[in-house]
Structure 1
């Protein structure tokens, strides 16, 4: 077994070397963006992996808003101009389909048949009436998860309990997300929210290597974790369960209609779970940043508890619509600021044919067929011309605020999930509801000396993880209103 793994890895290295040899002799053509100078072997890969944002800002100062990186054997043209995002997203010769195929196959072991049609078909199940039904399930599951955090069989005490913040979030928001996707009766000893959380913690360490094409067999720990993540209920079991979410059921029906296997379905289910895992990561950072800033903590708790007090009825139930939650200005600003700081998403497209791309300043750049073109939102999110003190968390930064670059207002100053995510509103609403619930039901504080730091090695992930967990104290509040979700 070990010998086979070594042979696979050696074959991969040889392939990369051959491709690399061809790539380094490539000549720049007239009109193409400048290529950033890098190492003979890796190109700019090492510089990018150390701290992508700082590296890209340095490149912009030397090469301008559009330049090309060589990452080993791949060429990626980076567009740093935020006003060009819409044009890049709408360019027909810049195709996301080959990128999602690469990620789905290299990371999750499956391919989609007619993926564009599927995204369109299943995307409706995270909007409108479907979103409202999903939110109801999520809210119910979150209430149950919070109940389980009460010590002594839910009898509230005045004692503080200690927990790692990531573990606290895993037992609350991730548990609620997991069970609202797969249903509570589908949980088992091998496939539960806790086991999936533990396996994701391992699997995501290797994510950037996997999507670039390094075989999973080179990473035994990743293979073992993936096995646990794929230990899911069968498609028939998920379809038969009343509490499986609409998205999963719709995706199963679509994939079966197009002749895809149960193995393919499990791989796709894992992609959806991975997306929700990013919501959990954002929840960690939102609570951490709020607890680090006493003014933010005081302001947010005051807004949330005032909103709850205004809604609570004689049965001690406070009912909110999506719009009620979205209208809370401090909460919205905290979430936007968290997304700005924590996002690591890479908006990459494959160039299907030579293209003359015109940026927002009217300058044309020749984009080469077979290369990739990308916007890197974190580099925009940390631009000091757009955001004052860009590495500092400011809870009220987005309250009634507008942002500018080169004297022009930005339409979308924060791009946390890319431009193609159909469930963006749903994910942000789930995050906001979690913060509303957590600060309504618990007193929270960081333990002395606790300080979370972003792990910048994972730029390219949708949301950056922390280097290490931080410890918090939490105490269930003796009096709180239960929260309920209602349609508009």
Structure 2
């Protein structure tokens, strides 16, 4: 019997320590505090089940600012989008990089670059993202179009014009994953396509399924097989291997050159950085592409308008679609597809559940309005949760309904949305906010546009009858684009007109 006493006593000791450690009480000037009854976990389980409903209920009971204990972290949620600018512009005492610098290295398996071992490396990495924006984006956009044509032509555009069946999500990820990989990292020296792409994609999906747990800092050795999968993914990007690839993007070339300047970065460390960029390039873009396609396909009237817009732009540019020849659209031509962009933005509004976070670097008083302040403690997280804004009926009429032209008005992009009679500075936030906004957001929107353009030009697509509507999996709430809970079967064929 004695052999059970020690483990039981340790359990009680751990529970006691956790209870003491998280015996926090609300101080004067601090927001309402919601801790829950489970030490350390707090409200993590309820938040994980349905974050949007959970936060909406607490906003109703506690007002538009409140603090919640979630998995050992005290997170202060700012629910009113009119208050977002006060947080976004407040960079002195609030820092995003403290969180990312701690979590990303552990998740992707590379050393902490912000340590003194690598002086100047974080700054150089940050500068490399300029290749994903502005004029530098043109080359990436053209390359992506060619690679999408390559994959579509070889895997989907051949054969007779007969109906074929496919899983929609699988179609999206198989085409977009390989085309994005080729655009970012290039091609093998003697062929157009890499061998092992299917295996690489499946391994990335397995790793991505564990991503929420890794971000929550669950040790990777506790996640069965994940460490081996991660190592396999990292090994694919060994510097000796990628140096032999051709047509590599300037973005990846510059990052590789930067890494070579640091002798303390081993080859596996460099490979892990490249792997992290692959995940960043596709982790949210793949499900975003799925939802953009799904909502268009199940709304034929929207699909017809978008397809007509695409055909009009092609006709005005003197472009005739031919499945045997590359179709090229410039960034300016893509920018003219306003209905298409609105439909993508609407699908992002419905599927995005990202959490914009900042970490308090010190105890301080955070100003939210002219005469409104809240007290913040060092180490606490300040969070914006835009999904609550995206689903606010005061901002978006019938927010649960897909309206492909919601972001289109009077022949241009609609940007005027209001809360309490005040125009919102931030009304659609799938890519983060402020200086931490995703640097690849323009490339992501362009490649989704390109994928849908080619799909609608070359194919008729229908959802097979008798299937239930596709719903979102809430388990990735706070991490970006929600995944579909189940896939959906479609049929497609080459267009005859």
Name the TM-score, length of structure 1 as normaliser: 0.89
Whether the 8 Å CA contact 2:42–2:70 is kept in 1: the answer is yes
Whether the 8 Å CA contact 1:191–1:229 is kept in 2: the answer is no
Change (3 A) 1:394 1:25: same
**Counterpart Cα distance in 2 of 1:229 and 1:105:** 15
Question: Does residue 1:168 correspond to 2:185, yes or no?
Answer: no
Aligned mate of 2:363, from 354, 362, 367? 354
The gaps in structure 1 that reach 5 residues or longer are 1-12, 480-488
1:70 alignment counterpart: 69
- How far did residue 435 of structure 1 move? 1.1
**Counterpart Cα distance in 2 of 1:313 and 1:188:** 25
2:462 alignment counterpart: 445
Greater displacement, 76-85 / 335-344: 76-85
2:113 alignment counterpart: 112
Aligned mate of 2:444, from 427, 450, 469? 427
Aligned mate of 2:310, from 304, 310, 320? 304
- How far did residue 19 of structure 1 move? 6.6
Question: Does residue 1:242 correspond to 2:246, yes or no?
Answer: yes
Matches within 5 A, 1:380-391: 380-391=389-400
Matches within 5 A, 1:238-387: 238-258=242-262, 259-277=264-282, 278-313=284-319, 319-360=328-369, 362-387=371-396
Question: Does residue 1:231 correspond to 2:229, yes or no?
Answer: no
**Counterpart Cα distance in 2 of 1:249 and 1:18:** 52
**Counterpart Cα distance in 1 of 2:94 and 2:122:** 14
- How far did residue 461 of structure 1 move? 2.1
1:8 alignment counterpart: none
Question: Does residue 1:184 correspond to 2:187, yes or no?
Answer: yes
> Does the residue aligned with 1:202 lie in a helix, a strand or coil?
helix
Whether the 8 Å CA contact 2:464–2:489 is kept in 1: the answer is yes
- How far did residue 310 of structure 1 move? 2.4
> Does the residue aligned with 1:443 lie in a helix, a strand or coil?
strand
Whether the 8 Å CA contact 1:308–1:318 is kept in 2: the answer is no
1:417 alignment counterpart: 431
State the Cα deviation string for residues 286-332 of structure 1 (Å, max 9, x = none): 11111111221222122222222322347967643212212222111
- How far did residue 422 of structure 1 move? 1.8
Change (3 A) 1:19 1:243: farther
1:100 alignment counterpart: 100
> Does the residue aligned with 1:146 lie in a helix, a strand or coil?
helix
**Counterpart Cα distance in 2 of 1:15 and 1:239:** 53
**Counterpart Cα distance in 2 of 1:87 and 1:474:** 48
> Does the residue aligned with 2:34 lie in a helix, a strand or coil?
coil
Change (3 A) 1:410 1:211: same
Whether the 8 Å CA contact 2:470–2:484 is kept in 1: the answer is yes
2:6 alignment counterpart: none
Aligned mate of 1:467, from 485, 491, 496? 485
**Counterpart Cα distance in 2 of 1:133 and 1:311:** 19
1:136 alignment counterpart: 142
**Counterpart Cα distance in 1 of 2:421 and 2:268:** 51
**Counterpart Cα distance in 1 of 2:202 and 2:371:** 49
**Counterpart Cα distance in 2 of 1:393 and 1:347:** 24
**Counterpart Cα distance in 1 of 2:276 and 2:450:** 23
- How far did residue 149 of structure 1 move? 2.7
> Does the residue aligned with 1:344 lie in a helix, a strand or coil?
strand
Matches within 5 A, 1:77-96: 77-91=76-90, 92-96=92-96
> Does the residue aligned with 2:52 lie in a helix, a strand or coil?
helix
**Counterpart Cα distance in 2 of 1:310 and 1:123:** 33
Aligned mate of 1:28, from 16, 26, 29? 26
- How far did residue 447 of structure 1 move? 0.9
> Does the residue aligned with 2:480 lie in a helix, a strand or coil?
coil
Whether the 8 Å CA contact 1:183–1:245 is kept in 2: the answer is yes
**Counterpart Cα distance in 2 of 1:341 and 1:181:** 28
Name the TM-score, length of structure 2 as normaliser: 0.87
Whether the 8 Å CA contact 1:346–1:460 is kept in 2: the answer is yes
**Counterpart Cα distance in 2 of 1:314 and 1:469:** 33
**Counterpart Cα distance in 1 of 2:12 and 2:178:** 43
- How far did residue 475 of structure 1 move? 1.0
Change (3 A) 1:452 1:45: same
Change (3 A) 1:46 1:107: same
- How far did residue 217 of structure 1 move? 0.9
> Does the residue aligned with 2:481 lie in a helix, a strand or coil?
coil
Whether the 8 Å CA contact 2:360–2:377 is kept in 1: the answer is yes
1:10 alignment counterpart: none
- How far did residue 209 of structure 1 move? 1.4
Whether the 8 Å CA contact 2:146–2:328 is kept in 1: the answer is no
Whether the 8 Å CA contact 2:138–2:330 is kept in 1: the answer is no
